[in-house]
């Protein structure tokens, strides 16, 4: 598709140079001789790039640019100033008005064409990225929505199985309860995802509430107890009595605790120990999950909370690991005004933690 460039200049010689250069390069051109005409034209048709003279009668280039950036339709259109001004203050003023770059007068053919091509290429890449992100978000929302139905069926089947006479044994009932709790948590995660707007919109996922981290810790350890039992890992809690409530969204705190605990179980060998701890700190609360795994080499620790980071420690029983668990914890906690981190004692193992503000 041929891209369109609006040239705004009241000097015929400059217009002639640019029309000849850019027209020969295959671009479609619009021409305006002052700021008012540029605003009128862009109200009807949005160009892909604007070359804007600074010194013009009536509206100067700075004010014209400010008005273009105040409009939703032209806010994202890149503006390149054309100016003979050489003072730093004038260049700063151009950037503050919303310009991305400037071309120095007298205009050189090669420089003008190179800058135009560069900024049009960047605009194409930005458009493609936005389209890809929108497509990915749409797919994820459709997939998440469609996952709710089979999860509801699992919950219904588990409830029916508990009512069956053959399910009267305590052990089977316990397993069915665990299955139901896990499925319910998956549904809460999906529901939360469906409610979250894109991060760029500046919306926090969920409204902060008053959350008892001790209760969450007990629920998470109970849920993960079967995974610990299979690996013969001792999974315990050390919960501080009388802990203040945390200021956060309960579902996100539960998800963060679950990720830290399941991650610790993955990387702890059979016969090891994992401990879920809560305690108060200055200005807030801390959750720690201690494990007796191999730890993380010093040179790799900076990548711990990075998506898809591949670290040398591997799950100890062939469990699946996609490198997302810790990155998800970081996103969830920081969205609630908290912080995450990890410590590695000299005696071995790791302590993965997050902090949240107290209510």
Whether 81 and 224 share a structural domain: no
Whether 212 and 347 share a structural domain: yes
Q: 225: which residues sit within 8 A by CB, 6+ positions away?
A: 178, 235
Which of residues 107, 142, 157 is at a domain's end? 107
DSSP H/E element including 180: helix 170-195
Whether 103 and 238 share a structural domain: no
Q: Is 313 exposed, middle or buried (0-12, 13-18, 19+ CB in 10 A)?
A: middle
Whether residue 66 is contained in a domain is answered as yes
Whether 353 and 212 share a structural domain: yes
Q: Give the separation between CA 2 and CA 28, rounded to whole angstroms.
A: 7
CA angle 213-248-197, nearest 5°?
135
- Bridge partners of 238? 277
pLDDT 10s per residue in the chain (359 long)?
Answer: 689 999 999 888 888 888 989 999 999 999 999 999 999 999 989 999 999 998 888 889 999 999 999 999 999 999 999 888 777 787 788 889 999 888 888 888 888 899 999 999 999 998 888 888 777 777 666 666 567 667 767 777 777 777 777 666 777 777 777 777 777 777 776 766 555 443 433 444 445 688 999 999 998 998 888 889 989 999 999 999 999 999 998 888 988 999 999 999 999 999 999 999 999 999 899 999 999 999 999 999 999 999 878 889 889 988 877 777 898 899 889 999 999 999 999 989 999 999 999 98
Tens digit of pLDDT for each residue in 249-282? 888 898 899 999 999 999 999 999 999 999 999 9
Which of residues 107, 128, 146 is at a domain's end? 107
Whether 215 and 90 share a structural domain: no
Cβ contact 66:38 at 8 Å: no
What is the pLDDT at residue 334? 94
Q: Give the separation between CA 51 and CA 80, rounded to whole angstroms.
A: 5
Q: Give the separation between CA 81 and CA 110, rounded to whole angstroms.
A: 16
Q: Give the separation between CA 224 and CA 217, rounded to whole angstroms.
A: 11
Domain membership of residue 261 as a residue range:
204-357
Q: What is the CATH number of the domain that holds 306?
A: 3.30.565.10
* Number of domains making up the chain: 2
Whether residue 224 is contained in a domain is answered as yes
Could you give the residue ranges of the DSSP H alpha helices within the chain?
12-24, 35-44, 61-70, 88-96, 109-163, 170-195, 213-230, 250-267, 325-335
Which of residues 49, 77, 107 is at a domain's end? 107
Whether 209 and 103 share a structural domain: no
Whether residue 42 is contained in a domain is answered as yes
Whether residue 144 is contained in a domain is answered as no
Whether 352 and 239 share a structural domain: yes
Whether 231 and 339 share a structural domain: yes
What is the pLDDT at residue 201? 37
Whether 209 and 349 share a structural domain: yes
What is the pLDDT at residue 205? 45
Q: What is the chain's length?
A: 359
What is the pLDDT at residue 237? 97
Whether residue 182 is contained in a domain is answered as no
Whether residue 168 is contained in a domain is answered as no
Whether residue 38 is contained in a domain is answered as yes
The three-class DSSP label of residue 196 is coil
List the 284-291 sheet strands across, edge first.
Answer: 234-239, 273-281, 284-291, 350-357, 339-343
Q: What is the CATH number of the domain that holds 43?
A: 3.40.50.2300
Can you give the pTM of this predicted structure?
0.53
Token representation of residue 4: 């369109």
Whether 94 and 222 share a structural domain: no
Whether residue 232 is contained in a domain is answered as yes
User: Which is nearest to 259 in space by CA: 322, 308, 171, 325?
Assistant: 325
Q: Give the separation between CA 257 and CA 277, rounded to whole angstroms.
A: 10
């Amino acid at each position: 598709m041929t891209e369109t460039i609006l040239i705004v200049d009241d000097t015929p010689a400059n217009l002639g140079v640019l029309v000849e250069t850019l027209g020969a390069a295959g671009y479609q051109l619009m021409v305006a001789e002052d700021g008012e005409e540029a605003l009128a034209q862009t109200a009807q048709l949005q160009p892909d790039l604007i070359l804007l003279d600074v010194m013009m009668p009536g509206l100067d280039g700075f004010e014209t640019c400010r008005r273009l950036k105040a409009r939703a339709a032209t806010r994202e259109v890149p503006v390149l100033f054309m100016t003979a001004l050489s003072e730093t203050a004038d260049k700063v003023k151009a950037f503050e008005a919303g310009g991305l770059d400037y071309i120095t007068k007298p205009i050189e053919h090669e420089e003008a064409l190179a800058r135009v091509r560069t900024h049009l290429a960047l605009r194409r890449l930005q458009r493609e990225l936005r389209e890809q992100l929108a497509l990915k978000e749409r797919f994820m929302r459709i997939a998440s929505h469609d996952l709710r139905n089979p999860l509801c069926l699992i919950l219904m089947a588990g409830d029916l199985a508990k009512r069956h006479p053959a399910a009267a044994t305590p052990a089977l009932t316990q397993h069915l309860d665990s299955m139901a709790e896990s499925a319910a948590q998956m549904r809460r995660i999906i529901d939360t995802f469906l409610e979250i707007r894109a991060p760029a919109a500046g919306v926090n996922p969920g409204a902060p509430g008053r959350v008892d981290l001790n209760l969450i810790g007990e629920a998470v350890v109970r849920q993960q107890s079967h995974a610990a039992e299979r690996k013969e890992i001792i999974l315990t809690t050390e919960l501080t009595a009388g802990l203040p409530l945390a200021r956060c969204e309960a579902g996100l705190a539960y998800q963060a605790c679950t990720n830290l605990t399941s991650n610790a179980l993955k990387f702890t060998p059979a016969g090891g120990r994992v401990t879920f701890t809560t305690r108060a700190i200055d200005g807030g609360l801390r959750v720690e999950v201690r494990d007796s795994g191999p730890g993380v080499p010093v040179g790799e620790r900076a990548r711990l909370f990075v998506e898809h980071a591949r670290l040398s420690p591997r799950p100890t029983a062939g469990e699946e690991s996609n490198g997302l668990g810790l990155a998800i914890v970081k996103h969830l906690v920081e969205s609630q005004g908290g912080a995450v981190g990890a410590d590695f004692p000299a005696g071995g193992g790791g302590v993965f933690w997050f902090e949240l503000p107290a209510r």
